[in-house]
Amino acid sequence: DGTSPRRRRVRSHTLREEPSSLARSSRPASPRSASGATMAATAMGGASVVGAPKFVAAGSRRTVRGASALRGATRPAAARRSIATVTRAQAGQTAEGDRIVDVSQIVVPEDLIGIRAYVRWEEAGMPEDTPPEWQAAEYAKARLDLQLEVLNGVTLNDIRRRYNQETVDGDDEPIFSRGDADVMLDDAAGKFTGATSNVVPMETRPTPLDDFAPTIEIPGGGEKQKVAIEPEEWIEPPPEQVGEYHSDAYAHRDLRSIVSHRVGGDEVAAPKYSAKTFMSRWASFDSPNTLVNQRLYTLGNDSEMLVQMYQDVVEDESASSGPRKRVVSRSVVITTDSQDDLVLHWGVAKDEPGQWLLPETTVWPGKTTAVSDMSVETPFVSGQGCLPAEAFDKDEVEPGEEDLCYPIQQLTIELPDDGADELMGLQFVIRNKEGTSWFRDEKNGNSNFHANYATTQHSKAADELLETIIRSEAGNGWWTLMHRFNLASTMLEQKCAPGASEKSIAKAVAAAAKIYVWLRYSSNRKLTWQRNYNVKPRELSAAQSKLTKTIAKLFCDAPHLRDVTRLMLGTVGKGGEGGQGQQIRDEILNIMHRNDIKEKKGIWMEEWHQKLHNNTTPDDIIICEAYLAFLKSNMDISEYWRVLSEGGIDRARLESYERPILAEPTPRPTKKVALIKDFQNYLKILKSVHSGADLIECIKTANKGLGGVSPALNYARVAQNGGGDAIQLLAACVDARHELRGAGLANPSDQEWTRELLYLDLSLDDVARRAVERSGEANYGLEDQMRLAGLVMENLALSLPTSNEDIVLALIEWRRVEEARRGGDSQWALRAKAVVDRVRLAVALHADDVAAKMQPAATEIGVACGIEHWAVDLFAEEVIRGGPAFALSLVLSRLDPLLRAEADMGAWQIISPVPAVGYVKHVHSLREVMNETFTRPTVLVAGKVGGDEEIPAGAVAVLTTCSVDVLSHSAVRARNMGCLFATCYDEAVLDSLAALDGEPVSASVMGGDEVVWDEVDASAVAVGAGAGDVSSVPKGLKLAKISFCGKFSVPLQEFKKGVVGAKAINTLALNESLGGGKIPAWINLPKSMVIPFGTMEHVLDDAVNAGVKAELASLVAAIDDSSETALERSLAACRACVKRIIAPAGMLDEIEAAIVAAGIPAPEDEDRWAKAWSALTDVWASKWNDRAFVSLRNVGIDHDDLRMSVLVQPVVDADYAFVIHTVNPSSKDQTELYAEVVMGLGEALVGNYPGRALSFSVKKTSGETPRILGFPSKSVMLKIPRQTLIFRSDSNGEDLEGYAGAGLYESVPMDEEETIHADYATDPLVWDEGFRTELLSKIAEAGVAIEAALDGQPQDIEGVVKDGEIYVVQTRPQV
């Protein structure tokens, strides 16, 4: 409107802080200068040494102080000049008047020699504890370096200037004439090699190197004579002594302090937005529910643009099938603070994201004009944007101001809803009014801007993040590492910003996982590093620095992302603000000039120099290491190719660079030592940019902040490449990683310091992994193996700062097990085996989580970008194999057989002991073949068994390495079907059977605790035990058709057959037995009522559910069981349909009255009743779960005849839950009871959660102490922290004569259970023998009493323990 802005905008990028002079210094003072001082002093003999040579940052220039002269001030000027004056005046005579005839007689000031000696020590890598003879040799070589320079015409002042020393009058002229120099070089040809004790002549031998040997031409009276200069030999500095590392921190550390706290809900507060630009405040201040996405872009150098996408969604009450919500409006709002008048050049997308279509005029804003057959242009509308004062910092708001305004431009484009005219979004670019400047997405390969919605007309919702990645990577435009890193930084800032809601956290975790996949592909060279674009090293270095700082900031601000951001940082070099990157470019040229290597086309080093100049990449580290190997092996070219190959570089890759490397390195024998020193230093420069996790470099960087190098960190440094004990090295790494937590990683806040600590932590993690690999070669005893396992667990816990709780709790219990072993506990091995099983399960769950989060993105990116299929298919597996979880798995595999031997367990757990003859089939999981019907007897070797699967028809055996509860659904069904079922704890044993895939075998149980097998002829299968041959399931089972009884609820006293299920009938029997004194009064029974058979079918007949009924009938008729995937999809649709059933009028009132009459607390309000109805319909819907459908089909039961009654009871907030089989199911011993117990609610047991429960057996009549068969290894327990109800399935398809249908259908609590990691280290049931014996005896006594009360029929009993009281919640006949 022409008015002035009320306040100038505040921009973060205008508040630049000048770098300190120290930061600009090219070489900081060395913390190890004392070693240099020792070297110089030893070598100089009688020379005066007043201090160590060291570099001191002074302002912005480096000042070098020598060993015997501080800036040349300790000697009079005349004395400082005397050497040069004498030698020049007397034309090559010594101070005594003799003619100089040998290079070694040239006198160079000792302060310059001391400086050169220090520089050589730095170039050699600053080795520590070097022997005196090495120091003396280095000092002599430093003297020779300068003598040769002087002889070749370099003035003393030239040398002083190089080292930032004050010059001396008269020392700017060369000392020797060319003729004098040639004479002395003639003499030097045979003598200079012996001038220093560490320069060893190479043996004379025929070698291709002779062709490259340099010579000195000696002028004479006739033809010039050539004398070869003998090359130098490199002497590797002696390795440091490793020594030993002993620490007691392992046993005394507070492990609970490293437990990560799960995030969600209000546990993570959104941090205050710290951006200082008006547009970023505009973006962050107001976010209505209709805002589905927003993104902030830069426009040119001083403006920003915010793109916001809005969508209004409403419930569609008229929809009887399909989506229940519909989009009624969409709009894209584009806002910018640019001061130039701007125009939007845009088109719309309908069928695919990158489409440009001419928009219909109905969506054109005012003043829009068509400019082509696919695009239009619309000018932005100018105005003012105002924000309330609270959007700004206090110091930016004047007292009394209510809002602050700034000139902005804005444009709103209204898009159609999700009907026939639905659009995916729009694509656009921006230009100024004159058309002289155009703006595109600079951070995304200069591509078009876009605002795309995921549309409902596509079968798969578009993934904007992956779409952006693929569009950038799979295109043919220019693209480099720099662009990739800049785009990754932007994406992390946009998609992973910390938020408080569980939804936002889940989205951030998913986005971060995808970005990690992308960066890992990049670091593994699966994506191009350069395409049609040259990047200066300093630009790449700056992009890396920005990305790594963004990652470190997320690590600080978003605890839920710490696992993945830590991984992410390992894929990117540290980079720098430009200086480090520029060093890559400059130093290679300096090396070439120092060593007189010409910039000549076709020479290897010049080709590499050109590549470095235009596009340096992490490959350059490998190339540099390969060249060093070539030099150190006396120019053996095979060493060059070996190192390249080990680093993943072949000739084709070298030739593929935009500036290709076609030649091989040129042998330069006389330059070898100098080149080795130069390139060892150059390798450090390359690593500082491209490789953040180099242990030595990380220690140097973090040393000051850590207050020095601790013994643990120093031991890891010295022992990382070999030597020393693997366990001691691992202990040092773990101790050092805890020190890093104390230094800031436990509660990170400073992103710069956090980044340095994380890189150091990653390098220590890598050393720890290599220590584990080395430990496999050691012959450790059991005690050392257990300590090793504990250390590797602890190392893994430190590597999972977001999700380590399960591992940490297992580790705490492991510490107790170690103490128990030392204390003589007879059950220590059984305890240890349980912890090992739990940890193995945790590693497996971690691997599954990695696969679930990363493999889909890896597949999508990999396929779109043409990555090799093996790298795509194995992506998630390789992530695990390269990390500490796999290292732990290796250690446990070595430890497990030792523990089993100590516990006298053997390699097998027999669950269903029957013989089997069939064809071996190796499968990934039992679930994937559950729906199959094998046409011939099949012995299944299954990689995964959860315990809740149905045994497939035709299977005669299921053998797995997974720990499965003896009372799990799969175990019960296997025994019911006469199927051999066993767990093998030795993977190698089962692998040998899996190797017989497709071959016929005969398997049986030998000695009651071992499965053995033999290969047999195919004819033996026909006469052997086939599927179901020993099954107790009768053929031709039919279910009686049951009608609705006429009411929605049945009280306890009216429970009867045909109206309620067997659980309810047995509940009535138990109550009558309790009242009649047949069972002890201390056994508690919960209050109960039932929603009877036929209720669901009756409710579907109500007019209010007519649409649902018709849809369900259609879905049931269309069930496709041709494959497991098709079956799951079909049944899921049926369950979703059942969930839409509506309660008829009066139904819930009747149920509420029955609940109250039964003495059960009823739901308190409408929200609670909604939860109750949801739980009830979940039970009804479980009629169509895949396990139940397959089971009924396999025994010939008509699924349509199944009816579901529902037993309603209050939930007992249990301390423990148990299941009893009053006849031991494994041994069939009628006199022995078997039971399993878990912490918390029973769903962890009957719901077949992974891991094993505490199991015991006891004779029914002897009164003996229960015998522990196994301690618990389940990782979780379940709790519901409030009063609630449970709706138990009670169908007519369970508890049939001879058919074990128990567990086929769901029992659902009204409130969702809280999953808590089990802490067995403090559980009295595990560690208090008296408590355990008393409780287990009481559980066993309850089982015996109930069996007796029910006419001696074996029972399958479920119950809980609360405050020492026993509650039996249901019982059924044991099948």
Distance in angstroms (rounded) separating the CA atoms of residues 448 and 345:
10
* Residues belonging to the chain: 1375
Enumerate long-range contacts of 780-785, CB under 8 Å, 24 or more apart.
780/727, 782/898, 782/902, 783/821, 784/727, 785/891, 785/894, 785/895, 785/898
Cα distances (angstroms) measured from residue 1310 to each of 222, 1153, 1174, 1243: 110, 18, 8, 13
As beta bridge partners, residue 1208 has: 1089, 1287
What integer pLDDT is reported at residue 144 of this predicted model? 86
Is the separation of the CB atoms in 32 and 24 below 8 Å? no
Name the range with the highest mean pLDDT among 318-327, 390-399, 721-730: 721-730
1196 or 917, which is more confident: 917
Phi, psi angle pair for 534, to nearest 5°: -100, 135
Percent of the chain with pLDDT over 90: 45
In angstroms, rounded to a whole number, what is the distance separating the alpha carbons of residues 608 and 606?
5
pLDDT tens profile 159-184: 888 888 888 888 888 877 655 555 55
Q: Do the strands 1204-1210 and 1308-1309 form a parallel or antiparallel pair, or are they unpaired?
A: unpaired
Q: Half-sphere exposure (CA, 13 Å, Cβ side) for 1348?
A: 15
Whole-angstrom distance, CA of residue 1163 vs CA of residue 1100: 24
**Do the beta carbons of residue 1005 and residue 980 sit within 8 Å?**
yes
Hey, is 196 helix, strand or coil?
coil
- At residue 346, the 3 state secondary structure works out as strand
pLDDT in tens, 1228-1253: 899 999 999 999 998 888 776 888 99
Place of tokens 């008829």: 1144
Q: Which strand (E) or helix (H) includes residue 544?
A: helix 537-557
> Token digits for 1224?
């031991």
Residues 964-993: what's their mean pLDDT? 87
- By the 8 A CB rule, do 615 and 659 touch? yes
Nearest to 1310 by CA among 1124, 1175, 1141, 1138: 1175
> Which of 363, 358, 356 has the alpha carbon at shortest distance from 373?
358
pLDDT tens digits for 255-267? 999 987 643 333 3
The answer to whether residue 235 scores a pLDDT higher than 80 is no
Q: Is the pLDDT of residue 298 over 90?
A: no
Q: What is the mean pLDDT of residues 802-813?
A: 95
How far apart, in whole angstroms, are the C-alpha atoms of residue 386 and residue 405? 4
What's the pLDDT score for residue 182?
Answer: 58
Residue 483 is among the residues annotated as catalytic for this protein = no
Using DSSP's 3-state secondary structure scheme, residue 1013 falls into strand
Burial of 4 (0-12, 13-18, 19+ CB in 10 A): exposed
Work out the average pLDDT over 940-969.
88
Residue of 450, 560, 969, 1317 marked active site: 969
Neighbours of 658 (CB within 10 A): 15
pLDDT for res 500: 54
**Which pLDDT score, from 0 to 100, does residue 242 have?**
86
State mean pLDDT over 178-202. Answer: 45
**Per-residue pLDDT averaged across 89-111, rounded?**
61
> Helix (H, G, I), strand (E, B), or coil: what is residue 436?
coil
DSSP secondary structure of 73-93: -SS-HHHHHHHHHHHHHTTSB
Could you give the count of Cα atoms lying within 13 Å of 1038 in the half-sphere of its Cβ?
A: 4
β-sheet with 291-299: strand ranges across:
291-299, 303-315, 325-336, 403-415, 381-388
pLDDT value of residue 796:
96
pLDDT value of position 1195: 81
C-alpha span between 389 and 410 (Å, rounded): 22
**Nearest-angstrom CA–CA distance, 456 and 659:** 47
The yes-or-no verdict on residue 759 having pLDDT over 80 is yes
- 8 A C-beta contact, residue 473 and residue 865: yes
Considering 112-126, 366-380, 678-692, the range whose residues carry the highest mean pLDDT is 366-380
> How many Cα neighbours within 13 Å face the side chain of 881?
5
113-122, 232-241, 624-633, 1264-1273: range with lowest mean pLDDT = 232-241
Question: Which distant-in-sequence residues (6+ apart) come within 8 Å of 911 by Cβ?
Answer: 964, 966, 971, 974, 975, 981, 982, 983, 1226
Residue 744 — very low, low, confident or very high, per pLDDT cuts 50/70/90? very high
Q: Mean pLDDT over residues 1115-1136, rounded?
A: 90
Q: Is the separation of the CB atoms in 731 and 775 below 8 Å?
A: no
Q: What pLDDT is attached to residue 497? A: 79
Residue 211 has pLDDT above 90, yes or no: no
The model's pLDDT over 505-525, given as tens digits with 9 standing for 90+, comes to 888 999 999 999 999 999 998
Q: For strands 1365-1373 and 1083-1084, give the pairing.
A: parallel
Closest to 1070 measured CA to CA, from 1366, 1363, 1345: 1345
Q: What is the C-alpha to C-alpha distance for residues 1083 and 1073, in angstroms, rounded to an integer?
A: 11
H or E element, residue 980: strand 980-984
Average pLDDT, the chain: 81
Distance CA(1213)–CA(1358), nearest Å, equals 14
**The pLDDT of residue 101:** 58
DSSP assignment letter at 664: P
Task: List % helix, strand, coil for the chain (3-state, nearest 5).
Answer: 45, 15, 40
pLDDT score of 224 more than 90: no
Residue 612 has pLDDT above 50, yes or no: yes
User: Residue 547 phi/psi, 5° resolution?
Assistant: -65, -45
Nearest to 692 by CA among 615, 761, 613: 761
Residue 21 has pLDDT above 60, yes or no: no
